[in-house]
Amino acid sequence: NAGVTQTPKFRVLKTGQSMTLLCAQDMNHEYMYWYRQDPGMGLRLIHYSVGEGTTAKGEVPDGYNVSRLKKQNFLLGLESAAPSQTSVYFCASSYRLRSSTDTQYFGPGTRLTVL
């Protein structure tokens, strides 16, 4: 099992450019999440999905769009990148909520720099 994988690992964009980050999981998880991590800010939820074909906004959704066309994939899009979107992006996945556990498994991250 590869777990949660993210593509690409690094990317540099110019202001106004667009790009898509891909997250894939092979654990048959229902739920998937996109976070951003900034120094001193912890992890903040951008968008999440509770199943194939569904998406919902998290804490900091502005400037991002997502799609979950297949259960195993969750895409994060930046339509017009801004320097404020320079960050490390993490994807995570988890099983359907259970009564006792809710482990979110994280990918290795994508480091994005917007110039």
Partner 1 sequence: QQQVKQSPQSLIVQKGGISIINCAYENTAFDYFPWYQQFPGKGPALLIAIRPDVSEKKEGRFTISFNKSAKQFSLHIMDSQPGDSATYFCAARRSSGAGSYQLTFGKGTKLSVIP
Dist CA 22 CA 11 (whole Å): 12
Q: Say if CB 71 and CB 52 are below 8 A apart.
A: yes
- Region from 19-27, 41-49, 65-73, 78-86 binding partner 1, contact rule CB under 8 A: 41-49
Is residue 41 close enough to count as binding partner 1 by CB under 8 A?
Answer: yes
> Phi, psi at residue 75, to the nearest 5°?
-105, 140
Is residue 109 close enough to count as binding partner 1 by CB under 8 A?
Answer: yes
> What is the nearest approach in angstroms of partner 1 to the Cβ of residue 15?
26
Is residue 86 close enough to count as binding partner 1 by CB under 8 A?
Answer: no
| Percent of the chain as helix, strand, coil, to the nearest 5 | 5, 50, 50
Dist CA 48 CA 59 (whole Å): 10
> What is the nearest approach in angstroms of partner 1 to the Cβ of residue 8?
15
Dist CA 65 CA 98 (whole Å): 28
Closer to partner 1 by CB, 79 or 102: give it.
102
Is residue 101 close enough to count as binding partner 1 by CB under 8 A?
Answer: yes
Q: Which residues bind partner 1 (CB under 8 A)?
A: 4, 31, 40-45, 48, 50, 56, 58-59, 90, 92, 97, 99-109
